[in-house]
Amino acid sequence: MRIEIVKDYEAMSKRAAYIIASQIVIKPDCVLGLPTGSTPMGVYGELVKMYQEGIISFSQVTAINLDEYYGLDKDNEQSYNFFMREHLFKHVDIKEENIHVPDGKAVDVEAECRRYDNIIKKVGGIDLQLLGIGVNGHIGFNEPGEYFEPLTHLVELAEETIKANSRFFPSIEDVPTRAISIGIKGILGAKKILLMANGEKKAEAIYQMIKGKVTPQLPASVLQLHPDVIVLIDERAAALLRE
Ligand code: PGA
């Protein structure tokens, strides 16, 4: 793991955007694994600016989203499909057929999960996987548990996750309790991983991810096994690393 500590959210977003832009410049038809949440919002804003300035184009890029709430239609404003369109896709020249997000309304969830894993295989795997991290150490919606789920699967969201994500909903009762998420094998299958975190509320998870044992109780710790991970964090998220 290569740890990069930057001053604040803005510096983190800019640096992450440079790394993603470099990937696109080096391989214009690359496959990007993309997350949602507060963490990557700034990065997406920076990428849109770079696109508008003519520095990068998404015309050959394929996007594979990490996860989606189960039960939400893609046009629902709380869905991750909607989030990605609002924050990135509708502002750049990515082709519709190259956008992939799990279908939160799939009737046959198992078939949807297999379809999603097949897409990842068909596009040749993910070149660069961008990740946030949950306060409980989750990556994607791989929640703490007894074992690592390798493949795309339906997840029962952890209480901490529902609580953390309730800030985006009118009330905690409105937060979906399930989601479809790429599994740990899917994430580790990416050639390169860029995990970002900011703020003191992520400091403990970051500390455990880097210094703790590899355990499904803290899913992000599995990244210790990947050969090419950049951990890009702000000073607050890095607070416990210095002690
Ligand atoms: P956040 O979520 O970026 O909204 O903090 C990260 C996550 O839960 O993975």
* CA of residue 133 to ligand 1 center, whole Å: 6
CB 100 within 8 A of CB 180: no
Q: CA-to-CA distance for 111 and 102, rounded, in angstroms?
A: 11
pLDDT at 243: 66
Verify whether residue 136 is a known catalytic residue.
yes
Sequence length of the chain is 243
Verify whether residue 87 is a known catalytic residue.
no
User: Considering only CA atoms, which residue is closest to atom 7 of ligand 1?
Assistant: 134
User: Considering only CA atoms, which residue is closest to atom 8 of ligand 1?
Assistant: 134
Lowest mean pLDDT among 3-7, 98-102, 170-174: 170-174
* CA of residue 218 to ligand 1 center, whole Å: 15
Contacts (Cβ under 8 Å, ≥6 apart) of 216: 144, 145, 146, 147, 148, 222
pLDDT at 242: 78
| Ligand 1 closest atom vs CA 37 | 4
* CA of residue 138 to ligand 1 center, whole Å: 9
Q: What is the pLDDT of residues 157-202, one digit of tens each?
A: 999 999 999 998 999 999 999 999 999 999 999 999 999 999 999 9
Residue recorded with tokens 């409105």: 174
Verify whether residue 67 is a known catalytic residue.
yes
Q: CA-to-CA distance for 192 and 194, rounded, in angstroms?
A: 7
Q: What is the pLDDT of residues 117-167, one digit of tens each?
A: 999 999 999 999 999 999 999 999 999 999 999 999 999 999 999 999 999
* CA of residue 56 to ligand 1 center, whole Å: 26
Q: Which of 138, 149, 165, 198 is catalytic?
A: 138
Q: What is the pLDDT of residues 26-71, one digit of tens each?
A: 999 999 999 999 999 999 999 999 999 999 999 999 999 999 999 9
Q: CA-to-CA distance for 232 and 235, rounded, in angstroms?
A: 10
Interior CA angle at 7 toward 136 and 167, to 5°? 40
| Choice from 133, 138, 187, 232 to test ligand 1 binding pocket (greatest atom count within 8 A of CB) | 133
Q: Give the pocket of ligand 1 (CB within 6 Å).
A: 37-39, 132-134, 138
Task: Output the pTM of the full model.
Answer: 0.97
Domain residue limits, the chain:
2-242
Q: CA-to-CA distance for 39 and 48, rounded, in angstroms?
A: 16
3-state secondary structure of 180: strand
The per-residue pLDDT of the chain, averaged, comes to: 97
User: Considering only CA atoms, which residue is closest to atom 2 of ligand 1?
Assistant: 37
Determine how many CB atoms are found less than 10 A away from the CB of residue 145.
14
203-216 b/e (C-beta count within 10 Å ≥ 16 → b): bbbbbbbbebeeeb
Class of domain 2-242: alpha beta
* CA of residue 176 to ligand 1 center, whole Å: 15
Verify whether residue 81 is a known catalytic residue.
no
